[in-house]
Structure 1
């Protein structure tokens, strides 16, 4: 929720809660009074609530903290429910690109788009994890959602994985680290730069596994409610955004310890 809407929601929640409190705490005599002059009308109640909030603004901070806590708990519960029965294709598809240790004891799945700024930021985090953790398996899911250029780049990327999986990481790093928007032409150039045969690459565009790779990624994203990039799936957690290398390390350690992203 954008910050402005969150503030409005919090204020509304606080107003409603305090309004209820004001009504509950009215003396019994007032609540049972027969004359309209002793009964607070809506504007009067709203004024009382407004005055209380103005005089005690810290309650909004407390409410925001509580709301964030509840939202995080709800999100974690939803993630656990969705991941209770993982399809094999999430971590072990024959179509996927794999970095790190293909037989690792922990699998980190990343849905990404080559034109995603936060994916570019997360590239260094993922590479750092791979270099520091020889038991980590990283699965990359092509998830082009940022326009035609992204779709073209993903098609080239999937084709690279079909014909030259041993060169995929070099290609992936080069294209994802590129400045500005990328498209099919930029992806083809990146493939050329890392030594991939151009004729074989163009021929691979029509390989059935290229289309199947993208379809599988979209199906998995829909199943797990992935709507943005990057989104990581680790253990029983779905983690949207570039969460940072330290946060990922902590969760990877937790998966090893207790089988969950948070013990």
Structure 2
């Protein structure tokens, strides 16, 4: 058991198991304090499973605190998260649950979640789905996001979704050549798209998403926002379905 987890767990154990007065070690004589420490050590050596129980309680409390902090962040930034006017929105525009995904085209877990999120939105029928371009994994991620945003700004939402899906499935490196071929495969003229990728308008979308991510404490992809919950990392389809159901149940 790592020492960094055992120590706070032991402190939690003492805090929950002993009367408040007994925790005032400063009131004890040096001899009493040493005897107390020896008694605690002996108890933990005889009952090591207690530390595991304490760690479970500690983890649960920390998860609850993180969830409460995340919910506050979501409430404070709800407009920018769900209604920024810059991000592609699909699914049911009048859906009763909004799912937002911060994603990166070069992120393996984003690719793993891609088809499951598609299935969630398609089979549910009442989810409003928002995509946040959040390139954080290097130059190829940046190029891919710039291309996708340029497609939306030049050709609209449906073309963006087609480009997004193609980029999520792209097996080659992302460079000017592969993006030109991808555009041609979507029956789009590559030249104006490649020219638009470095425009101030495209840059502004990426900058705004990075600013929002910093405000929310998001450092990795995928990150989902469902209702007032922030889900940091890959979430399997059954878990997403359960969370959506819980959001509807209130």
TM-score bin, normalised by smaller chain: 0.7 to 0.9
Cα 1:183–1:198, aligned 2, differ >3 Å: closer, same or farther? closer
Cα 1:184–1:118, aligned 2, differ >3 Å: closer, same or farther? farther
Name the residue aligned to 2:154.
163
Name the residue aligned to 2:186.
194
Cα 1:250–1:183, aligned 2, differ >3 Å: closer, same or farther? farther
How many residue pairs match? The answer is 242
Contact residue 172 and residue 178 of structure 2 kept, 8 A: no
Q: Which sections of structure 1, spanning at least 5 residues, go unmatched? A: 26-30, 259-263
Name the residue aligned to 2:205.
213
Q: Does 1:223 align with 2:215?
A: yes
Cα 1:195–1:63, aligned 2, differ >3 Å: closer, same or farther? farther
Summarize deviations over 1:163-220 as a string: whole Å, max 9, x none. Answer: 2321222221222233476455544433332222212312322443211110111121
Aligned counterpart in structure 1 of residue 232 of structure 2, from 232, 237, 240:
240
Name the residue aligned to 1:12.
7
Higher relative contact order (CA 8 A, sep 6+): 2
Q: Secondary structure of 2:231's match? A: strand
What RMSD in Å do the two structures reach over aligned CA positions?
2.9
Cα 1:173–1:46, aligned 2, differ >3 Å: closer, same or farther? farther
Q: Secondary structure of 2:75's match? A: coil
Instruction: Give TM-score, length-normalised by structure 1.
Output: 0.79
What is the distance in 2 between the residues matched to 1:19 and 1:236? 34
What is the distance in 2 between the residues matched to 1:189 and 1:255? 41
Moved more, 197-206 or 144-153: 197-206
> Once the 2 structures are TM-superposed, how far is the Cα of residue 145 of structure 1 from its aligned partner?
1.0
Summarize deviations over 1:64-94 as a string: whole Å, max 9, x none. Answer: 2111210111011101211223342321222
Moved more, 78-87 or 217-226: 78-87
Within 5 Å, which residues of 2 pair with 1:130-209? 130-164=121-155, 165-179=157-171, 182-183=174-175, 185-209=177-201
Q: Which sections of structure 2, spanning at least 5 residues, go unmatched? A: none
> Once the 2 structures are TM-superposed, how far is the Cα of residue 53 of structure 1 from its aligned partner?
2.9
Rg larger in structure:
1
Q: Secondary structure of 1:83's match? A: helix
Instruction: Give TM-score, length-normalised by structure 2.
Output: 0.83
Cα 1:47–1:180, aligned 2, differ >3 Å: closer, same or farther? farther
Name the residue aligned to 1:86.
77
What is the distance in 1 between the residues matched to 2:175 and 2:56? 42
What is the distance in 2 between the residues matched to 1:50 and 1:110? 47
Moved more, 169-178 or 214-223: 169-178
Name the residue aligned to 2:248.
256
Q: Secondary structure of 1:96's match? A: coil
